[in-house]
Every structure is written in C-alpha cells, then in structure tokens.
Amino acid sequence: MTNHLKKATFAGGCFWCMVKPFDQWDGVKSVVSGYTGGHLENPTYEDVKSGTTGHYEAVEITYDPTIMPYEEILKVYWQQIDPTDDGGQFQDRGDSYRTAIFYHDDQQKEAAEVSKEELANSGKFNKPIVTKILPASTFYPAEDYHQDFYKKNEQEYKEDRAKSGRDEFIEKVWGNN
C-alpha cells in the first residue's frame, strides 16, 4: 500500500520552520529534518553549522501524490521562503540556510523548473529567483531533538519563528493565502 508514496526534498532555511507548513496537509505522511547536498558522510548539526560541509538544512517529505500532487507541494514550498535571498533565510545566514529544491526524478525536476519560471514571471518579486534546483543526494536525518521541533518545543519554536521575520515576509508577499 505504501509503494506509491514519493519523496520531496527542500531546503528553506532553518528546518524547524519548514516542517509545520508541510506536516499539516492531507497526503503528507512524514516530514523529516536533516542535511543534504554536502560532502561529509553522516554530518552532525555542529558539522553543518560550521559551514565547512556544504550541506543544506532541509526537509524530506514523504507524500502520497494521489492526494497531494508534487505541484501542490511546490506551491506550499515557495510560500515559505524568500526565493531571492542567496545568503540564507531571514535571521539565519550562511550556506546551510540557502534555499534549494532537490528533485528525485525527471518529473520533479520539470515541475520544479516550471514552478520557478512561473514564480519569476508572477511579478511578486523584483529581484531574480535564486533558489537552486538540484538532483537529490543522500539525505541524513538530523538529530532526534530537531525532529518535530514545533511540537516538542512549542514555546521555543514560536519565539524563534516570531523573531525570524519569516511570518511578516510571508504575510507581505502572500497575504493570508
């Protein structure tokens, strides 16, 4: 029954802020925080924060495409990030906080490219869309304390998110969408 499930992998800054937006959709089976795109095997949070491993903080989403198509997941993704910022996201700066879509097959690559082009032509941004579209590589789940952080550490999550500026940006660009 689970052989039709697929994976989607996205980097959107701090992975704590990237779990909840996907976790609440029908068709999304799991959202795992982790690291991808770097050269060190089995990196730790400290390794990645050092800025020397090349990894992105990312989320790996397992979803049912018959309920939540990849194109819809892409729409959710774009509405969580500032796709014009190549230095990180909001208060989180550095390479590990850059944005990227990691595709798992040619259909995901094409859908990501189409959605990026549509966003670039939408008039929502007056700067270029710098989010990279890259082939998925090994995904390393983050330490347990990072998983479902918004549920396990609700107050700290709310405080961190509030001071990040992410919600103000989303409201300004996307409204209550």
CA distance 10 to 161: 18
What digits encode the pLDDT tens for the residues 3-35? 799 999 999 999 999 999 999 999 999 999 999
Domains, in order of start, for the chain: 6-174 (3.30.1060.10)
Asked if 17 is an active-site residue, the reply is no
Return the structure tokens found at 128: 């270029």
| DSSP strands (E only) in 13-131 | 28-36, 56-63, 88-89, 92-93, 99-103
**pLDDT over threshold 90, residue 115:** yes
pTM here is 0.95
Name the pLDDT band for 177 (thresholds 50, 70, 90): low
Catalytic residue among 8, 11, 14, 58: 14
Question: Closest Cα to residue 72, out of 24, 35, 120, 34?
Answer: 24
